[in-house]
Amino acid sequence: MVKPSEMTAVTHPMLNKVPEVTVYFWIIKILCTTVGESFADYINETLGFGLTNTTVVFSACFVVVLVLQFRRNRYVPGIYWLAVVLVSVVGTLLTDNLTDARGVPLAVSTLVFGVLLAVVFGIWYFRERTLSIHTIVTTPREAFYWLTVLVTFALGTAAGDWTLELTGWSPGIAILLPLGLIVAVLAAWKMGAGPVLSFWFAYILTRPLGANIGDFLASPRGDGGLGLGTFGTSLVFLATILAVVIYLTKTQADRTDTVHQPRT
């Protein structure tokens, strides 16, 4: 016989808490990564707020928005993407704190975050038997998801900065490497590579891609950039993110209908 608690759980299912992976998903994700790079630099360096103060403020904002995200029982575009913007800033600041404040080499940061990501993936899969974002329908899975997102942003920042340190490429040329790798992942997926593995590879690579785009737009023309500055770049991308989120809120074009059916 089904218990009343189980009947209640079935009557009030928890919908998938992340959007469908459409072209809008990747557009906003790249925009968020660019904002994470440029906005953190603007607050920290241009306004002189300091690395520690900037980290504390944005971490607190991220925690508040993440609480709102967890309190919802379905995907809400405005809350979800605001959390992604903030986690992109916090992920960038994690790497910056290790590199600038602690003097940790970027190679070491890349290795540490890479190992940490593997550990998170391992525990997540051992517990849930899936890493698919189409199954974020329980609180533990959502917690694993956001922890993974945070680590991918930190890893992408460290790996991207390390690559630039090794190559000495200009901001414009630096865009081509992560872009080419993302195209390679897309081709591999088209030829039959696992969709979950392909998704997370591409997700990690969008971080250095977005950061390099931000550097290209913000850097002075004499350094190979477009000279928009960190504030101008952040403003343009935040406005674009807002426009796309409003569109998705009205059209629900990226909403999924996956629900959680608890075990009986």
Instruction: State yes or no: pLDDT of 229 exceeds 80.
Output: yes
The reported pLDDT for the residue numbered 163 is 86
| 247-252 mean pLDDT | 91
Side chain identity, residue 195 = P
Does an H or E element contain 243, and which? helix 229-251
Residue closest to 252 by CA, chosen among 3, 24, 11: 24
The reported pLDDT for the residue numbered 257 is 60
The reported pLDDT for the residue numbered 10 is 36
Tokens of 2: 């089904």
| Cβ–Cβ under 8 Å, residues 120 and 144 | yes
Question: Residue ranges per domain, the chain?
Answer: 17-251
Instruction: State yes or no: pLDDT of 228 exceeds 60.
Output: yes
Tokens of 44: 């920290």
Side chain identity, residue 70 = F
Does an H or E element contain 4, and which? helix 4-11
List all residues 6 or more positions away from 31 whose beta carbon is below 8 Å from its beta carbon.
210, 237, 240, 241, 244
User: Based on the number of CB atoms within 10 Å of its own CB, is 22 exposed (0-12), middle (13-18) or buried (19 or more)?
Assistant: exposed
The reported pLDDT for the residue numbered 14 is 57
Predicted TM-score of the model (pTM): 0.87
Query: Between 41 and 96, whose confidence is greater?
Result: 96
- Whole-angstrom Cα distance, residue 231 to residue 137? 37
DSSP 120: H
- Whole-angstrom Cα distance, residue 157 to residue 150? 11
At 47-94, the pLDDT tens digits run 888 888 989 999 999 999 999 999 998 899 999 999 999 999 899 899
Kindly state the percentage of the chain with pLDDT values over 90. Answer: 51
- Whole-angstrom Cα distance, residue 8 to residue 3? 9
At 170-182, the pLDDT tens digits run 878 889 999 999 9
The reported pLDDT for the residue numbered 1 is 43
At 113-167, the pLDDT tens digits run 999 999 999 999 999 999 998 889 899 999 999 999 999 999 988 888 888 888 8
| 207-222 mean pLDDT | 84
